[in-house]
Amino acid sequence: MTGRGVRGRLDTEDRDEKEAPGVADDSGRRDGPREARPARGPGDPRGGERDGGGRHGAERNDVDRHDVDRDDVDRGDVDRDDVDRHDLDRHDLDLEEALALVRDPDPHATHSGPRSRRDPGAQVPVPDHGPADAGPSPTAASAPPGPGHHARHRATSWPDARAIAERAALSAPRREPVDVPPEAALGLVLAAPLTALTDLPSFDSSAMDGWAVAGPGPWDVREEGILAGQAEPTALTDGAAVRIATGARVPADTTAVLRSEHGRIDDKGRLHAAVPQAPGSARAGGTPAVVPGQDIRPRGQECHAGDQLLPPGVQVSPAVLGLAAAAGYDTLRVVPRPRVDVLILGDELLTEGLPKDGLIRDALGPMLPPWLHALGAEVVAVRRLGDDAEALFDAVRTSDADLIVTTGGTASGPVDHVHPILRRVGAELLVDGVKVRPGHPMLLARTREDQHLVGLPGNPLAAVSGLLTLAEPLLRVLAGRAAPEPYALPVESSAHGHPHDTRLIPVVVGADRVVPLHYNGPAMLRGIAAADALAVVPPGGGHSGQELELLDLPWGVAG
C-alpha cells in the first residue's frame, strides 16, 4: 500500500485507501478460516467420514498388510479378532481394501496426549524392541545389507530421517547463485538482497485523472494535456491548470492534482474546484481549498535508489517479480534449482492405455516431476529403466544431478536393485528405512560428495511419503528455501496409528480441524488426490480432537 511511510506531501489517495471497506485480513494463513468446504455427496471420496461409513467406513483406520507384520501380531499389538474379521471379509473385498479394515483395537491405548505444535518431533516414545531398535547412527548406515536388510532394526525414526535429509543437504557443496530472467525466477529464492535501482516513483506523478493546478483556483486551463509516458512537461505558472492522466509526470510548480470529478469548467473555460455532491443532493458544493500535494505521488514515496526492498532468502512470488520489474531489474540473482534425475524402475509399468496382463500404469512418472518442481527442483530427466540392474547402475554412475530419485526396487524382492546398485557405486546410506507408514523402505544415500539419492518405494502413496520425508527437506535446503512453520490442527475423528511407527494420512484441512480421508492405503492415490495435506499421526494413533502436525502439499502454498 502506498504512502504509509515517510512522504513529503499529503496524498489524498491514501486517505481513500484507509477508508476503503473490506481491508484484507493480514493475520497468518492459518488464523483465518479456510474456504468453506462444500457438503459432500455419497460418491465423494471425502464424504464417508461424516456419514460414518458404509463399507469403507473403517478405512480411516487403514492398515496395510505390512503394518500388521509378524512382530506386531506376536507382541499382541493387533487384536486377534481384528485379524479374524479381516480374514472373513477377505472374500468380499479386494486385498488392499480388506486389509484396510484391520484396525488397532484401541487407537488410544498408547498415545500420550497431544503433541506440542512447536515440537512435532516430540512423539510418543517408541517401545524398546531390544537390539533391533538400537538403530545405527545415520552416518554409519552403510553396513552391508543382505536379503531382508531393510528390516525394522535399521529403520530411522521419522523426525530423525527428516533431520538427516536436511543435514545432508546442508553439508553438500553450495551451488553458485545465478542471474536469471524473471520468468525463470518464479518460486526460486533470492540469493542477494533486492535493492531498488531507482526511486519509486521515479518522478512526481499524478495519482488521478484530472488537472494539475498551480496556486488557488479558479485556473486557466492549458490547451495541451499531459499523458502518462510523456517526458518533462512545461512548468505551470500560478493560476494555470493542465489536463493530466493518472501516472503522468506532473509539471514543475504544480500545487496539487484536482480529480476530474472534483472540477468544473465554467462557460469562460476556467476551471473551478467543486466538492462532490452528497448522495441524493442536487446541490453542487462551493469551492473548497485545494490541499497542497493532493493526489500527487511524490518521487521516492515508495523507495529511494539503494533501499533494500527484500532480503536474500525470500521466495520469488508473482508480486516479487512485479516489484523487481518496477524497481528496474531485468534479471534476478537466485539460488539455482537443484537438478534432479528421476529413475522409474519396474518392468510392470505401462505409460498409456488400460492396465492389462498383470501390467499396471506408471503413476509415479506423471506425478513426481511436477511435485519435485513444486518442491524447488529442476527435473532434468525422467527415465524408465524397467528392472534392469545394469541400466540402473549406468544411470546412477553417469548422472550429474544434485539428486537422483528412484522409484520402486527398494525392498528385497528378486528385482529390487536399488540397494545392490548403491553398494556397487560405493554410496553411503544415510537413511535405510524409516519408521513411517506408508513408505518404510524409503532410503537416502550419498552417492558422491555433491550428489544424493532418494529411493522411493514403488507403492504410490509410499512414494509420496518418501518424497515428503526425505526429498522435501533435502530439496528445500538445496533450493535455499526456509522451513515451513510447523503447524497442527485437531483431527475430527480418531486417527489410526501404527503401534511403533509414525503414520502419514491424507486429510482435508478445514477452518479449525482436519478430516482424515479414505483410500489411504500404500498403493492408493485416491485419498491424497483429494487432500490438502498429510497429517502426521504419532505412533499409537491420535484420538479425536488431538492436534496433528500437518505437511502441506506444495501446490496449496507458493510453488
Which class for 358: exposed (0-12), middle (13-18), buried (19 or more C-beta within 10 A)? exposed
For residue 421, which phi and psi values (nearest 5 degrees)? -70, -35
Contacting range for ligand LQZAQKY5; rule: CB under 6 A; set: 82-90, 253-261, 294-302, 355-363? 355-363
462 binds ligand MOO (CB under 6 A): yes
What are the C-alpha distances in Å from 459 to residues 79, 249, 363, 409? 26, 62, 9, 10
410 binds, options ligand LQZAQKY5, ligand MOO, none, Cβ within 5 to 8 A by partner type: ligand LQZAQKY5
> 206 vs 465, which CB is nearer to ligand MOO?
465
348 binds, options ligand MOO, ligand LQZAQKY5, none, Cβ within 5 to 8 A by partner type: ligand LQZAQKY5
The amino acid present at 425, given as its one-letter code, is: V
Q: Retrieve residue 109's grid coordinates.
A: 491405548
Contacting range for ligand LQZAQKY5; rule: CB under 6 A; set: 73-81, 193-201, 401-409, 477-485? 401-409
Q: Which residues lie closer than 8 Å to 91 by C-beta, 6 or more apart?
A: none
Q: Single out the residue of 110, 157, 206, 459 in contact with ligand MOO (rule: CB under 6 A).
A: 459
Residue among 413, 417, 437, 433 nearest 425 (CA): 417
- Give residue 492's region: left, alpha or beta (phi > 0; psi -120 to 50): alpha
Contacting range for ligand LQZAQKY5; rule: CB under 6 A; set: 73-81, 455-463, 479-487, 549-557? 455-463
Distance of CA 139 to the CA centre of its chain: 29
Residue 511: how many other CB atoms lie within 10 Å: 12
**Least distance from ligand MOO to the Cβ atom of residue 527, Å:** 13
439 binds ligand MOO (CB under 6 A): yes
String marking each residue 502-541 x if it binds ligand MOO according to CB under 6 A: --------------------x-------------------
Q: Single out the residue of 48, 338, 346, 540 in contact with ligand LQZAQKY5 (rule: CB under 6 A).
A: 346
182: three-class secondary structure by DSSP:
helix
Residue nearest to ligand LQZAQKY5 (CB): 458
> 83 vs 321, which CB is nearer to ligand MOO?
83
> 103 vs 222, which CB is nearer to ligand MOO?
103
Q: In what order do the strands lie in the sheet with 240-244?
A: 256-259, 210-213, 240-244, 219-221, 270-273, 263-265
How far the first Cα of the chain sits from its last, in Å, is 24
Decide: 186 and 196 in contact? Cβ < 8 Å.
no
Contacting range for ligand LQZAQKY5; rule: CB under 6 A; set: 29-37, 122-130, 184-192, 406-414? 406-414
473 binds ligand MOO (CB under 6 A): no
Query: How many positions of this chain bind ligand MOO (CB under 6 A)?
Result: 11
412 binds ligand LQZAQKY5 (CB under 6 A): yes
Are β-strands 488-490 and 547-552 bridged in parallel, bridged antiparallel, or unpaired?
Answer: antiparallel
For residue 356, which phi and psi values (nearest 5 degrees)? -160, 155
> 66 vs 90, which CB is nearer to ligand MOO?
66
Q: Single out the residue of 206, 410, 447, 546 in contact with ligand LQZAQKY5 (rule: CB under 6 A).
A: 410
DSSP-derived secondary structure letter, 471:
I
Provide the binding-site residues for ligand MOO, judged by CB under 6 A.
64, 66, 437-441, 457, 459, 462, 522
Provide the binding-site residues for ligand LQZAQKY5, judged by CB under 6 A.
66, 344, 346, 348-349, 360, 362-364, 407-413, 416, 440-441, 457-460, 462, 522
